Amino acid sequence: MPEGHTLYRLAREQSALFAGRPVHVTSPQGRFDAGAALLDGRVLDEVFSYGKHLFARFGSDHLHVHLGLYGAYLTGTGTPPPAKGALRMRWEAAGPDGLGVWTDLRGPTACEVLPEPEVAAILDRLGPDPLRPRADGGRALRRIAASRTAIGALLMDQSVLAGVGNVYRAEILFRHRVSPFRPGRAVDEALWAQLWADLVTLMKAGVRMGRIVTTRPEDRTRRSGAIRREDAHYVYRRTGLPCRICGTEVRTEVMVGRNLHWCPTCQAV
């Protein structure tokens, strides 16, 4: 599932290409026909993300998209390709350079038009997003410090913290040598301040790079040049491989329905 940095980049891209212009909205698949009819031909005001949610504002109506596990956008210029298969939604507009631009959405968990009160209700259910300006990390700590639930599960709870997914969950805990099984109430204010600050840094880097890289240069096999995929993470998807720091085999266990990766030595309970 795309994590918060991906949605932030999508919002920025779509705003640059479509905001301030009338957008031709269709649903070739047919499943979004009613919503497309409400938006078709209207001027897009802005696109913004919050956590793993994407919102496009057309006046008082908002298009809400949640990509889920299988949703994806494909964007291009000129004439769009013939619509095929399960194409939920297509946008077309005159681009900022005068050329036509288009974007296709396939396979989202949610694609719906909502009025402002319903958008506000979604946002109210979400925890702070590290990528949002002036986000209050202390709001997440208040939930974490009052819970006996493992921190590895709490970080995946979007009502506690918005935008963090499986990769950031595993990597942030390793970088601070925190066991994913530590109860939330055992995470003190000083530790959380370090985790939050690091999440802000890593997720902003993810926006700039278009990928998640969490390793420090000195911990990579190749310390200069382009960062290879196998050097990008400490523990995520490295099950059975030696820990980059201590050499212990990285382990995996299912937690809240997703594979959790950790080093049992560096992150001892």
Q: Which residues are the active-site residues? A: 2-3, 52, 258
Enumerate the H helices of the chain as residue ranges.
4-18, 33-39, 116-125, 137-145, 151-154, 166-175, 189-209
Measuring CA to CA, how many Å separate 110 from each of 106, 146, 167, 168?
Answer: 11, 31, 22, 23
> Is there a contact between 233 and 220 (Cβ–Cβ < 8 Å)?
no
Question: Cα–chain-centroid distance for residue 125?
Answer: 16
- CA–CA dist 161, 190 (Å, integer): 17
Structure-token pair, residue 35: 């919503």
The per-residue b/e assignment along 175-194, b for 16 or more CB within 10 angstroms, e otherwise, is beebbbbbebeebeeeebee
Rg (CA), the chain: 20
In the chain the first and final C-alpha atoms are separated, in Å, by 28
CB-CB neighbours of 76 under 10 Å: 12
- CA–CA dist 25, 47 (Å, integer): 15
- What backbone phi and psi angles, to 5 degrees, belong to 182? -65, 130
Q: Parallel, antiparallel, or unpaired: how do β-strands 251-255 and 258-262 relate? A: antiparallel
